[in-house]
Amino acid sequence: MKAGLFSLACISLLRFAASQPQHHIHHHHAKRAQDVVTDVVTQVDNQTFEFEDVIVYVDDAGEPVSTTTVYKNQVQPTAALGTYSNPPAIPAPAPAPASSSPVIAPAASSQPALSPSPVPQPTQSMAPAQSRSPSSSGGSSSSGPGFSSGISYTPYNADNSCKSTSQVAQDFSKISGYGLVRLYGSDCNQVANVIAATKGSVSLFIGIFDINSIQSEVQTISQAINGDWSQVNTVSVGNELVDSGKASASQVVAAVGTARSALKSAGYNGPVVTVDTMNAMKNNPSLCTASDFCAINCHAFFDGNTLPSGAGDFVKGWTQQVSQAAGGKTVVVTESGWPTQGDTNNKAVPSQENQDTAIASLKASFSSNLVLFNAFDDMWKQPGAFNAEKFWGILGTSPG
For the chain, give percent helix, strand, coil, nearest 5. Answer: 30, 20, 50
Instruction: Report phi then psi at 358, rounded to 5.
Output: -65, -45
Half-sphere exposure of 260 (CA within 13 A, CB side): 19
3-class secondary structure for 157-219?
CCCCCECCHHHHHHHHCCCCCCCEEECCCCHHHHHHHHHHHHCCCCEEEEEECCCCCHHHHHH
Task: Tell me which of 52, 335, 353, 389 is the catalytic residue.
Answer: 335
CA distance linking residue 144 with residue 368, whole number of Å: 11
Which residues make Cβ contacts (< 8 Å) with residue 61, sequence separation at least 6?
none
Task: Using alpha carbons, list the distances in angstroms from residue 315 to 18, 153, 277, 294, 366.
Answer: 37, 21, 11, 14, 9
Nearest to 272 by CA among 254, 252, 257, 250: 257
Q: Kind of pairing, strands 294-297 and 45-58? A: unpaired
Q: Assess contact for 361 and 309: CB atoms under 8 A.
A: yes
- d(C-alpha 214, C-alpha 256), whole Å: 9
Report helix, strand or coil for 365: helix
Q: Check: CB of residue 274 under 8 Å from CB of residue 237.
A: yes
- Tell me the residue type at 276: D
- 335 given a catalytic annotation: yes
Non-local (6+) Cβ contacts of 139 within 8 A are none
Of 101, 99, 102, 122, whose CA–CA distance to 306 is shortest? 99
d(CA 60, CA 189): 98
The residues that are catalytic are 335
